Amino acid sequence: MSLSAEREATTSEAAAEISGRWSSLAKELLATRRVVIGLAIILGLIAMAWIGPMLSPWGFDERDFTAFRSPPTADHWFGTGNTGRDVFHMTMVGLQKSILIGLCAALFTTVIAALVGAFAGYYLGFTDRALMWVTDLFLVLPQFLILAILYPVLRDQGWLVFVLLLACLMWMVTAKMVRGMTISLKEREYVLAARYMGVSHGRIILRHILPNMSSLLIVDATINVSSAIILETALSYFGFGIQPPDVTLGSLIAEGSRQALAFPWTFWFCTGLLIVLVLAVNLVGDGLRDALDPHSKSRT
Amino acid sequence: MAKFLVRRLLSYLVLIFLASSIAYLIAATTLSPRAYFEQQQPPPSDQAIERQLDKLNLNPETPLAERYATWVAGVAVGDFGQTITDQSVNEAIARKAGVSLRLIVAGTVIGATLGVAMGAYAAVRQYGRFDRVTTVAAFFLLAVPAVVVAVTLQVIAVWINDVSGMRLLEYGGEYSANLDAGFWGTLLDRVQHAILPTMALSLSLFAAFSRYQRNMMLDVLGSDFVRTAMAKGLTRRAAMIKHALRTALIPTITYFTFTFGILIANATFTEKIFGWHGMGAWVVDSISTQDVNAVAAVTFFMAVCVMAASFLSDVLYAWLDPRVRVS
């Protein structure tokens, strides 16, 4: 075999093996059973939340005056509430909102955390001290309390503002981790190379440092989805969360828990769905951590 | 090391001051004490409302900076002002802080100790039956919001009481009113009331800690220094406890600082659901009665708790990690 033919053979082999970041990520994920199961459950819940209301014979606001607080029947799959509203339809709409809140809040949280952490870790010095000080301050402020105090203002703002605020109070721990990783990443050759090529600081952070910790960010975003859903539930329980006419699983649980003994179907269906949702998200997060983290022990 | 701790303590004091100031400012702008007086029956006259608002330093007509200055001047000499019903906030704190502290301390100690112990043991026996059971339990508990845990415990308590035909577990209030049963009877009554709330609080803490400690322990178990410790003749148990667990505890302590805020929020839910008149239940009520001074005082209390936890973990950190002590 001639030398050039051999070289050609190796390059074509290498091209077949080396795949892009995203396709190798996808391959890694699909090989992890927990992630697949978790994703399947989440997709199932999403499908249920958006298709379910269409199948239900009852409307969201519709009341059944012949059946107040009726247990599950063929007509009302999850029973009816105090005012004769169909619990199945309300639960599905609540599930939609909870999923949306979880995803959006996690996305915002991770973006804030990545930016604050990366800038603090990259510049160090004064920027770092100032940003970390703000982080510490936010860590001291009890997030539940601040959201509860802000409730009179938030009441009339709609759920997106609420989600933004939720994100503003959840980013701190991730930011500290991102900062730690940035400090070690910024010494790497490719960052120095980019620096010597004259790439600006901001661009280095966005194009070189953050993509290189994408696995940490993805895992953390997943975890944040479940913490956002849980925090929203807690706030809604005390009436400081999403306001009617919007419903979430949290506000349904709040309503149901006061009569969990007498009318269990108003409590257990929404609670069960919430637990399944959070479990599935945590399952994905846990599996992702194992799949993406080269140091993870459970891989071996 | 003393210098390190003193420096941390100073920065904590500043953070506590800022946190309660921010809470005061937000509360003073968003809550409307006037609305509270206006909906009273019979409605007081405008002048009466005005007079009461001025007296309590709650009048929205007074510039925010002025109200804040009055509040800070009071706090500086240890006076948190008056509640909206014109009672001393200080007295209310004295009455309620103990309730919350008992709950938080008991919940933290039980939850964290059990979590760390079980997580570490599960790691040592990785993939054993104990490991599988605790992993599944912790995983499930982590997915259940604290509110649901508390309500479920109440449902279970009702069921247990029904089955046993006695009031074994109490799920409302901190103690029975007008109980006259001597020292032991009172103690028993308190314990009966305390079991469920403490459990509600420690369960979620246990779940988080056992997961985390298990992972940290797994990272350490394969290290050379653990092998060396056993090679030089230490028993497996001594090597695990003195070398592996001690090292694996260091990141857990940092984690403790981060989760303490969540724990305080959980304590709020627990108090409210089980009807304990602690700081957490007070703040939820104060927000609905538009009580600015009480909200600020509770934030101060919570910030102090978080900082005390951070300081505690600094001390523990220095104790566990020789590198901190030396430098």
What is the pLDDT confidence band of residue B34, given thresholds at 50, 70 and 90?
confident
Q: Which pLDDT score is estimated for A42?
A: 92
| Position A17 confidence tier, pLDDT thresholds 50, 70, 90 | low
Q: Which 3 state secondary structure label does DSSP give B25?
A: helix
pLDDT in tens, A185-198: 888 899 999 999 99
| CB proximity B222 to A under 8 Å | yes
Beta-carbon separation of B23 and A146 below 8 A: yes
Interface pTM (ipTM) of the complex? 0.80
B151 chain-A contacts, CB cut-off 8 A: 257, 260, 267
Per the model's pLDDT, the better-predicted residue between B50 and B111 turns out to be B111
Convert the pLDDT of each residue in B195-248 to its tens digit.
Answer: 899 999 999 889 989 988 998 888 888 888 888 988 998 888 888 888 889 888
Contact assignment for A140 to B19 by CB distance below 8 Å: yes
Q: What are phi and psi of B281, to 5 degrees?
A: -65, -35
Averaged pLDDT, A238-263: 80
- The pLDDT-based confidence of A19 (bands split at 50, 70, 90) is low
Residue in B with minimal Cα distance to A133: B15
* Domains, chain A: 3-31+48-292 (1.10.3720.10)
Tens-digit pLDDT profile for residues A202-223: 999 998 888 888 878 888 888 8
Chains A, B: CB pairs < 8 Å: 119
For residue A5, is pLDDT > 70?
A: no
Rounded to a whole number of angstroms, the distance from the CA of B122 to the nearest CA of chain A is: 13
More confident: B32 or A273: A273
- Indicate whether A6 pLDDT > 80: no
Average pLDDT (B276-297) is: 87
CB atoms within 10 A of CB B133: 12
- Please report the pLDDT score of residue A8 as a whole number: 53
Confidence of residue A1 (pLDDT cuts 50, 70, 90): very low
User: Chain-wide mean pLDDT for chain A?
Assistant: 81
Q: Is the pLDDT of residue B188 over 50?
A: yes
pLDDT value of position A18: 60
Mean pLDDT of B164-193: 78
pLDDT at A2: 52
Mutate to test the interface with B, among A98, A140, A179 (most CBs of B within 10 A): A140
**Interchain contact, A136 vs B142, CB within 8 Å:** no
| Mean of pLDDT values over B51-69 | 82
Taking an 8 Å cut-off on Cβ atoms, the answer to whether A149 and B30 are in contact is: yes
Q: Find the mean pLDDT for residues A93-107.
A: 91
The structure's pTM equals: 0.83
Looking at A183-187, A285-289, B13-17, which range is the least confident one?
A: A285-289
Q: Identify the DSSP state of B144.
A: S
Number of alpha carbons in the 13 Å side-chain half-sphere of residue B325: 8
Name every residue in A having a CB less than 8 A away from some CB of B: 136-137, 139-146, 148-153, 173, 226, 230, 233-234, 237-238, 240, 250, 253-254, 257, 260-261, 267, 271, 274-275, 278-279, 282-283, 286, 295, 297-298
Domains of chain B: 93-288 (1.10.3720.10)
State yes or no: pLDDT of A118 exceeds 90. yes
Confidence of residue A142 (pLDDT cuts 50, 70, 90): confident
